[in-house]
Amino acid sequence: MKKLFALLTSVVTLAGLLLAFSPTSKAEAAVANQFNPGYIISDQNFFDGNSMSPMDVARFIDSKSGVCRAGYTCLKDYLQAVPNMRAEAGLCNGYTAHPLQSAAEIISRVAASCGVSAKVLLVLLQKEQSLITDTWPVASQYARATGFACPDTAPCDPSFGGFFYQVYNAARQMRNYGLAPERWNYRAGQINTILFHPNRDCGSSNIFIQNRATAALYNYTPYQPNAAALNNLYGTGDACSAYGNRNFWRLYTDWFGPTTAPLGTPEGDISVSANSSGIQLSGWAVDPDAPTASVAIAVQIGTVWRQVIANSAGNDLSANYPGAGPNHAVNATLPFDSGTYVVCLYLVNAGGSGGMGSTGCRSVTVPVAPAPIVTVESVTSTAGRIQVNGWAVNTDSPTTGVNIAINIGSRWIQATGGQPNSAAPGQVSGAGSNQGFTAQFDAPPGQQTFCIWANKSNGSATMVGCRTVLVAEARPAAGAIETVTVNGNSVTISGWAVWPDSPSTSVHLAANVGSSWTPISANQNNPAANTAYPGVGNSHGFTVNLTAPSGSQSICIWTTNPNSGPTILGCRTVVVGASTAGVLAAVESVTPGPGQVNFSGWAVWPSSDSTVVRVAANIGSRWYPIDANQNSTTIQQSVPGVSAQHGFSGSIPLPAGTHQVCFWAAQPNAPAKFLECRSVVVPEANATIGELNNISGGAGGIHFDGWAVMPSSPTSQVRIAINVGSQWFPTDTGVANSLAPSRVSGAGPNQGYNALMPMPPGTYEACVWAAGVTRAVVLGCSTVTVLPTPALSSMLTEFTPVSGGIRVSGWAVWPNQPTQSVNVAANIGSSWTSIPRGLSNPLVPGFVLNAGQNQGFSGVIPAARGEQTICIWASNVSGPASNIGCRTVNVP
């Protein structure tokens, strides 16, 4: 008798879904007046393929089923062999055959493959055959589990019979409804006439279906509940009542909570398709709380995030969203290379209540895009520069521009497109007349190879070819200091400067005396430049008036250069604010070297040009006399009218250490004149030379930087170590630092160091050391305070079991280093796997102030089959790593 009753109820259910289920629990009972026939369930809930893991589904079925009767197989105990199913673009991603899987595994894996929520499939199984709660199900219930291919007017199609085929094809069909909506009776985004009952005499009403999920339910079960069915939500109505979609909504609400997003959550209907240009999005989105605002749509495509705005003109939505107007349409193309992608759409709340909405995920395939046609018409080189001209056309869009980029070394240069070019239309049918491009870029002298790349219509790049050219050396600014005159504390300097390779551009200079800088432009009349470089013209002279403090002053003129850093045009040492009485002298340089100190300058008795002034250097109790009778290139600028033979220079051997060097000048018939003293640090003959430019504490550690050079090997790497108590943290030179070459002859440009020693919060005495040939030398010490490290900000967006592993995605940011990517690792048992990081994720800046977009991570973590617990950890800038989250999944 039970079997007969079961068969009868199954027939009634399949024939019109008219059977009203008895209530399972009223603790979370649905309320009839909350049923919206045009918005039964949100796309976000309906198409969430990752809503439940196999373990989640199994636990749910156990919680709803009772003790199975002897001789029957309940759903919680059901097992079957499953076949292989091929992947279909826009529908399901296929299914891998398995000799034996549980109902829970089948439901969860079908949900993930087809992008239909496991919660939806569980409700479908209950409303069709009561399989979730039935304690004595029969074979026919499994054969017709979801009612797929069981029309109201004919028997079920046996080719789709069986639990797996019923679940898989029902989920596939839910996706199929949205693949080509025009083929089906009920469509989202428009008013539809929907019957109350298979008997048309029971009537119908016009319903605006708001989204694809609701349209899918009506295409699967084409009736809406009448007032009688809703008035007795857990029972039967009248002869014109249908219960399928009512029961779906009621069961989902009782079991899983509201079917739709919170009030105020953005809503929309957006289709996803693909062609050779990339992925196309079309549809609409609106925020009910802010109907005039434009909704931002975050598009996740694998590990890549894009954003589009629903602000284009489209259908007026005011009838359903008062005040919305027509400007909420989406029509965008996202360039992507050929391949199959899973595209997930998230609707960002524009204001008011509600949260982030979603229209679900779907799979699309971008076909191979044809390569653009590119012709390089000319490549020319001048001093320090290369110019490339040509044209480019995408054959599938012949009037739109093609992005051209040029790669030379580690640099990329974007060409300027949209240039007039008459050649393209004659070569490519339909091509526009502005398909030309040009690029100019700096290049070092010598033979240079560069490569030209063109973007296809879908955004992927293809290499057009490479060229090798000989680049002449870009000459720096040339010029001369012609006159320097001193009048009291006023100094006037004149001269000329020109860029030989760009003579129409005025050279910018700066005069430096002490800590004072005065800008100069070389744009005055002066024929000297044209004499030195015929054809450059006479407008390259300069004159500058400076006020300098009394005493011996070194004044230097610096020039800028178009293709390199500033260079020094020349320096002059002058005596400012002095009378001509007595000896005039200047110590121009005192430079320590390994095991010695070098010095130079000039001294003169103005009233007796033929007299040689004796100069003495004093160090401690020792004196080192020298005559000022050498040639000086600067004295005549400082003391006009005297001869040049009043210079002096010398070297004094000194042990390593700090020394005070003082200079005196003898005067005829007068006491010796004190000139000046300078303190110098003399290194050992082979000792490492270096500086600690900065050492400071911050969040997470101690930062230090500077430079170091071994004089015996001035371009070699030097080991650096910072010491705090008993702890040592090593690093090496190898960072660009302009100070080293200016301090040590022959030093390379990359003798700098820059590092962070991770330390817990506290105050420390830290010293930085540099290794040497015979011994290490200390570069400097300081007391620093390390601050607490701010908490890690992170989010896990994906845990997906795949064959042989688990796909994990998310983002992580240390707020104190918001643009630096974080090392992330996955732990399964005793195994650790690093996860690729530095991936684009545009949502991150919205969560962390000043964060960059490239803080995402994603990868497949190898894992054995079966249930696995995986934990994700982020490395800390100091202290222990931070756990982002753990999840238990079943790996196929």
Q: How far apart are CA 803 and CA 798, in angstroms?
A: 16
For residue 12, the 8-state DSSP code is H
* For residue 2, pLDDT beyond 80: no
Residues 72-79 have a mean pLDDT of 95
What is the topology classification, in CATH, of domain 275-366?
Immunoglobulin-like (2.60.40)
Tell me the pLDDT tens digit for each residue of 811-835: 888 776 777 778 899 999 888 899 9
Query: Which comes out higher in pLDDT, residue 131 or 468?
Result: 131
Q: How confident is the model at residue 308 (pLDDT cuts 50, 70, 90)?
A: very high
pLDDT at 17: 31
Would the CATH topology of 275-366 be identical to that of 793-891?
yes
Q: How confident is the model at residue 577 (pLDDT cuts 50, 70, 90)?
A: low
The sheet with strand 614-619 has its strands ordered as 622-627, 614-619, 657-667, 670-682
CATH superfamily of 584-682: Immunoglobulins (2.60.40.10)
pLDDT at 141: 94
The sheet with strand 856-862 has its strands ordered as 793-802, 805-813, 856-862, 837-839
Q: What type of residue sits at position 394? A: N
pLDDT at 880: 65
Q: How far apart are CA 696 and CA 780, in angstroms?
A: 12
Which tokens belong to 635?
Answer: 């004295």
* CA-angle at 306, arms to 303 and 310, nearest 5°: 145
Tell me the pLDDT tens digit for each residue of 693-704: 888 877 678 888
* CA-angle at 618, arms to 613 and 623, nearest 5°: 75
* For residue 161, pLDDT beyond 70: yes
What is the topology classification, in CATH, of domain 478-576?
Immunoglobulin-like (2.60.40)
Which tokens belong to 349?
Answer: 């709340």
Query: Which residues does residue 720 pair with via DSSP β-bridges, in sequence order?
Result: 731, 770
Which helix (H) or strand (E) segment holds residue 111: the answer is helix 103-114
**Of the ranges 84-88, 498-502, 732-736, which one carries the lowest mean pLDDT score?**
498-502
Could you give the dihedral angle defined by the CA atoms of residues 75, 77, 83 and 86, in that order, rounded to the nearest 10 degrees? 50
Which helix (H) or strand (E) segment holds residue 794: the answer is strand 793-802
Q: How far apart are CA 729 and CA 724, in angstroms?
A: 9
pLDDT at 27: 33
Q: What CATH number should be reported for the domain whose range is 689-786? A: 2.60.40
Could you give the dihedral angle defined by the CA atoms of residues 266, 270, 272 and 278, in that order, rounded to the nearest 10 degrees? -80
Q: How far apart are CA 798 and CA 889, in angstroms?
A: 12
pLDDT at 580: 46
* For residue 518, pLDDT beyond 80: yes
Burial class (CB in 10 A: 0-12, 13-18, 19+), 70: exposed
Which helix (H) or strand (E) segment holds residue 254: the answer is helix 244-256
Contacts of 776 (CB under 8 A, 6+ apart): 688, 721, 769, 770
* For residue 278, pLDDT beyond 90: no
Query: Which comes out higher in pLDDT, residue 762 or 124?
Result: 124
First to last CA, the chain: 42
Contact 366, 274 (CB under 8 A): yes
For residue 831, the 8-state DSSP code is E
Tell me the pLDDT tens digit for each residue of 753-810: 998 888 888 888 888 988 877 778 888 877 787 776 666 777 787 888 888 899 998 8
Query: What's CA 541's distance to the chain center, in Å?
Result: 48
Q: How far apart are CA 648 and CA 629, in angstroms?
A: 6
Q: What is the pTM of this model?
A: 0.40
* For residue 847, pLDDT beyond 70: no
Q: How confident is the model at residue 848 (pLDDT cuts 50, 70, 90)?
A: low
Residues 704-732 have a mean pLDDT of 89
Average pLDDT taken over every residue of the chain: 84
Output the DSSP codes for 34-101.
G--TT-SS-HHHHT-TTS--HHHHHHHHHHH--PPPTT---GGG-EEEE--B---TTS---B--EEEE
Which tokens belong to 703?
Answer: 């930062």
Query: Which comes out higher in pLDDT, residue 578 or 8?
Result: 578
Q: How far apart are CA 284 and CA 316, in angstroms?
A: 10
Q: What CATH number should be reported for the domain whose range is 373-471? A: 2.60.40.10
Three-class SS of residue 442?
A: strand
pLDDT at 877: 54
* For residue 578, pLDDT beyond 60: no
Where do runs of H (alpha helix) occur along 464-561?
A: 528-532
How are beta strands 752-758 and 727-732 bridged, if at all? Answer: unpaired
Cα-trace Rg, the chain:
41
Helix crossing, 118-129 with 54-64: angle to 10°?
30
Q: Which CATH class is domain 793-891?
A: mainly beta
Contact 88, 95 (CB under 8 A): no
| CA distances from residue 581 to 606, 607, 673 in whole angstroms, order as listed | 8, 8, 12
Beta strands in 109-252 (DSSP E): 190-195, 204-209
Contact 546, 598 (CB under 8 A): no
Positive or negative, the Cα torsion across 459, 460, 466, 470? Answer: positive
* For residue 632, pLDDT beyond 50: yes
Tell me the pLDDT tens digit for each residue of 166-195: 999 999 999 999 888 889 999 988 899 999
Contact 768, 722 (CB under 8 A): yes
Tell me the pLDDT tens digit for each residue of 134-151: 999 999 999 999 999 998
* For residue 18, pLDDT beyond 50: no
Query: Which comes out higher in pLDDT, residue 101 or 7?
Result: 101
Could you give the dihedral angle defined by the CA atoms of residues 304, 309, 314 and 317, in that order, rounded to the nearest 10 degrees? 110
Q: Where are the domains of the chain?
A: 10-256, 275-366, 373-471, 478-576, 584-682, 689-786, 793-891
Give me the long-range contacts of 692-697 (CB less than 8 A, separation at least 24): 692/768, 692/779, 692/780, 692/782, 693/739, 695/722, 695/766, 695/768, 695/780, 695/782, 695/784, 696/782, 696/784, 697/759, 697/763, 697/764, 697/784, 697/785, 697/786, 697/787
Burial class (CB in 10 A: 0-12, 13-18, 19+), 569: buried
